[in-house]
């Protein structure tokens, strides 16, 4: 999925090695642009012409998994192979007990990138580790520097980071029947957290309308102290804003009461309609084995999903003397993987849920609804949509 031409040589070598070791299997790699992926895969699955192995994210893969489109790997894969992967990552591809619809391939996770100069000016000795500490730090930074602590988008069409923050704060979004579960004590506390920050002037006003890219722009210009992003942002900072890059450092992702951290997973799924299930499974296992993952993640600047690859990559990073800020950031991201998970399990209509929650939370932030009313309205709209 949108990996050509950058990774042509990697896949040529990978496929060549697989075919050499697994005669008479032959692999044809077809790369699909991101913006055409969903329509092409939907059409192919419906027509039983889908590739034998498909690279997808859990959100889209789960939509088709709910229609029984993919092989159940829990039944097809040996315990030895399952044990290769980080347990929470293997389970991320599950809609219900006893069913796994994809092989985990590569991962990304957010870390906290922070401006050391702004922290010093605000009298802060360390970056915040929790949302509670983040609120305190944001106030100190605003009062002493006039800058904002951070930016997280509540734009309904953009990132799910704020929605994930509710989960990190202990909110259950939906119950086992798919009905709203967020109108709870923890839900009220989480809504109130964001309402308070906004109404106290500790969030940029454009969090309600601008997307996550605005956060990067603000950090790059020195207007915010903390940025939730992947390690690779430090590489772009060095090119686009060297002065900010020099004072930037990395810390673990900020957490709530649960201690949970996010991870995003890209998978390899196998259609039930495949005419060569054994070959498809062999190839997916080969692509995602420890050695091949280590080679790929270094080229793609992502993170691995097998326990062995995580351990080997950590050892390599620890052996680097005079590590760069980017290498340190990669180490921070890697070290939080064992405790990271997909915070919002695969579910139907996730974007609709995000829109409903963001719209009502945003209304509470600007004062047009109380927190209680926002929660009640969001709950009713979501549950009514389930009926319809």
DSSP string of 35-75, one letter each residue = HHHHHHHHHHHHTT---SSEEE-HHHHHHHHTTT-B--HHH
Q: Which residues of 267-290 are buried (b: 16+ CB within 10 A; e: fewer)?
A: bbbbbebbeeeebbbbbbbbbbeb
Q: Is 156:163 a contact under the CB 8 Å cutoff?
A: no
Rounded-to-integer distance, Cα 43 and Cα 49, Å: 8
Q: What burial class does residue 388 get, using C-beta atoms within 10 Å of its C-beta: 0-12 exposed, 13-18 middle, 19+ buried?
A: exposed
Give pLDDT tens digits for 349-384.
888 999 999 999 999 999 999 999 999 999 999 999
The per-residue pLDDT for 34 is 78
Q: Torsion angle, CA of 244/131/151/165, rounded to 10 degrees?
A: 130
The per-residue pLDDT for 346 is 76
Tell me the pLDDT of the chain averaged across its residues. Answer: 95
DSSP assignments along 234-252, one per residue: HHHHHHH-HHHHHTEEEEP
The per-residue pLDDT for 363 is 99
Q: Is 255:131 a contact under the CB 8 Å cutoff?
A: yes
Res 224 pLDDT > 90: yes
Res 123 pLDDT > 80: yes
Rounded-to-integer distance, Cα 127 and Cα 257, Å: 17
**Mean pLDDT in residue range 100-129:** 97
Rounded-to-integer distance, Cα 246 and Cα 65, Å: 45
Give pLDDT tens digits for 15-58.
999 999 999 999 999 998 878 888 899 899 989 899 999 999 87
**Beta-ladder partners of 265:** 107
DSSP assignments along 197-238, one per residue: HHHTT-S-GGGGTS-HHHHHHHHHTTSBSEEEE-TTHHHHHH
Res 388 pLDDT > 80: no
Chain mean position to CA 255? 14
Query: What is the DSSP-derived secondary structure letter of residue 29?
Result: -
Q: Is 236:166 a contact under the CB 8 Å cutoff?
A: no
**Beta-ladder partners of 248:** 115
Query: What is the DSSP-derived secondary structure letter of residue 338?
Result: G
The per-residue pLDDT for 96 is 82
Res 154 pLDDT > 80: yes
Rounded-to-integer distance, Cα 324 and Cα 248, Å: 11
- Cis before residue 16, ω within 30 degrees of 0? no
Rounded-to-integer distance, Cα 278 and Cα 30, Å: 20
Give pLDDT tens digits for 51-63.
999 999 877 888 8
DSSP assignments along 119-179, one per residue: HHHTT-SS--SBHHHHHHHHHHHHHHHS-BS------TTS-SHHHHHHHHTT---B-TTS-
Res 64 pLDDT > 90: no
Res 136 pLDDT > 90: yes
List domains and CATH numbers for the chain.
Answer: 8-108+265-340 (3.40.190.10), 111-261+348-387 (3.40.190.10)
């Amino acid at each position: 999925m949108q990996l050509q031409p950058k990774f042509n040589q990697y896949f040529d070598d990978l496929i060549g090695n697989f075919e050499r070791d697994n005669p008479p299997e032959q692999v044809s790699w077809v790369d699909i642009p991101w913006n055409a992926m969903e329509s092409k895969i939907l059409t192919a699955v419906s027509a039983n012409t889908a590739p034998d192995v498909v690279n997808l994210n859990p959100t889209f893969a789960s939509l088709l998994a709910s229609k029984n489109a993919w092989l159940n790997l829990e039944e097809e894969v040996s315990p030895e192979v399952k044990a290769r992967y980080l347990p929470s990552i293997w389970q991320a591809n599950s809609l219900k007990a006893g069913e796994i619809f994809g092989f985990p391939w590569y991962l990304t996770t957010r870390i906290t990138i922070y401006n050391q100069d702004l922290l010093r000016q605000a009298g802060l000795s360390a970056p915040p580790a929790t949302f509670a500490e983040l609120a305190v730090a944001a106030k100190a930074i605003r009062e002493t520097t006039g800058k904002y602590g951070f930016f997280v988008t509540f734009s309904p069409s953009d990132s799910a980071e704020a929605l994930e923050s509710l989960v990190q704060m202990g909110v259950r979004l939906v119950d086992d029947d798919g009905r709203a579960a967020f109108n709870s004590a923890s839900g009220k506390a989480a809504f109130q957290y964001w309402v308070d920050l906004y109404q106290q002037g500790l969030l940029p006003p454009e969090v309600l309308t601008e997307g996550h890219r605005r956060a990067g722009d603000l950090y790059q210009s020195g207007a915010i102290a903390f940025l939730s992003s992947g390690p690779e942002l430090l590489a772009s900072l060095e090119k686009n804003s060297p002065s900010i890059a020099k004072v930037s450092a990395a810390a673990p992702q900020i957490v709530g009461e649960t201690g949970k951290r996010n991870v995003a997973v890209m998978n390899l799924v196998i259609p039930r309609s495949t005419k060569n299930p054994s070959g498809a499974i062999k190839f997916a296992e080969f692509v995602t084995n420890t050695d091949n993952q280590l080679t790929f993640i270094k080229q793609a600047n992502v993170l691995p999903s097998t326990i062995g690859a995580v351990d080997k990559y950590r050892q390599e990073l620890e052996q680097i003397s005079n590590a760069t800020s980017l290498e340190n950031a990669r180490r921070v991201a890697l070290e939080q993987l064992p405790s990271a998970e997909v915070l919002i399990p695969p579910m139907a209509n996730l974007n609709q849920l995000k829109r409903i929650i963001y719209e009502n939370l945003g209304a509470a932030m600007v004062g047009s609804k109380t927190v209680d009313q926002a929660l009640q309205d969001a709950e009713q709209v979501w549950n009514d949509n389930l009926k319809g």
